[in-house]
């Protein structure tokens, strides 16, 4: 089954059109809608953002459901990303630690502080490793 896109005028397969809420099919194909979305955003990002916020306000329940689904869907990826930041002691992670440990502002953090905190973390991690090894030896 094919359908004619009202925007580009091409005949395309049904799965190249989005389904609407009531199981209808959009009159424009996915590619055209996506293109228009992108150029619309480039031309006037404020308007697109304002409309998106407005939509979210009026569709709170639906938005919550979308957030929940997205949270579940990307959970693994997010955890992996977070673990990488912690494992490799990336600066943003170190900065956040310094802010929460010492209660200072982000722009008060110096490079020296970051280096010191990193060193501290590396040492603490090494100590933990040694402790674990010692405990396992008995
Ligand atoms: Zn099209």
Q: How many distinct structural domains can be found in the chain?
A: 2
Q: What is the pLDDT of residues 86-111, one digit of tens each?
A: 888 999 999 999 999 999 999 999 99
Distance CA 118, CA 93 (A): 10
Q: What is the CATH number of the domain that holds 18?
A: 3.30.60
Coil, helix or strand at residue 4: strand
How many angstroms from the chain centroid is the CA of residue 102?
28
Report the candidate in 23, 20, 27, 24 with the shortest Cα–Cα distance to residue 4: 27
Q: Is residue 83 part of a domain?
A: no
Ligand 1 midpoint to CA 125 (Å): 56
The pLDDT profile of the chain, 138 residues, written as one tens digit per residue, is 899 999 889 999 999 999 887 778 999 999 999 888 888 888 888 888 898 889 989 999 998 998 899 888 889 888 888 888 888 899 999 999 999 999 999 999 999 999 999 999 999 999 999 999 998 887
Domain span including residue 121: 89-138
For residue 11, report the distance from its CA to the centre of ligand 1, in Å: 8
DSSP reduced 3-state for 17: strand
What pLDDT score was predicted for residue 94?
A: 93
Q: How far apart are CA 101 and CA 113, in angstroms?
A: 12
Size of the chain in residues: 138
56 assigned to some structural domain: no
CA gap 106, 108 in Å, rounded: 5
In DSSP terms, 12 is beta-bridged to 3
Q: Ligand 1 centre and the CA of 20: distance in Å?
A: 16
Residue 59 resides in a domain: no
């Amino acid at each position: 089954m094919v359908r004619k896109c009202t925007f580009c005028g091409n005949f395309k397969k049904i799965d190249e059109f989005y389904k609407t809420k009531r199981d209808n099919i959009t009159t424009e194909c996915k590619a055209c809608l996506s293109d228009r979305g992108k150029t619309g955003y480039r031309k006037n990002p404020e308007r697109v953002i304002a409309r998106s916020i407005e939509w979210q306000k009026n569709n709170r329940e639906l938005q919550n459901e979308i957030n929940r689904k997205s949270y579940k869907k990307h959970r693994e990826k997010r955890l992996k990303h977070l673990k990488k930041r912690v494992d490799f002691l990336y600066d943003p992670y170190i900065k956040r630690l310094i802010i929460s440990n010492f209660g200072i502002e982000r722009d008060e953090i110096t490079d020296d502080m970051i280096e010191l905190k990193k060193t501290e973390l590396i040492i603490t991690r090494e100590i933990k490793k040694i402790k674990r090894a010692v405990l396992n030896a008995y």
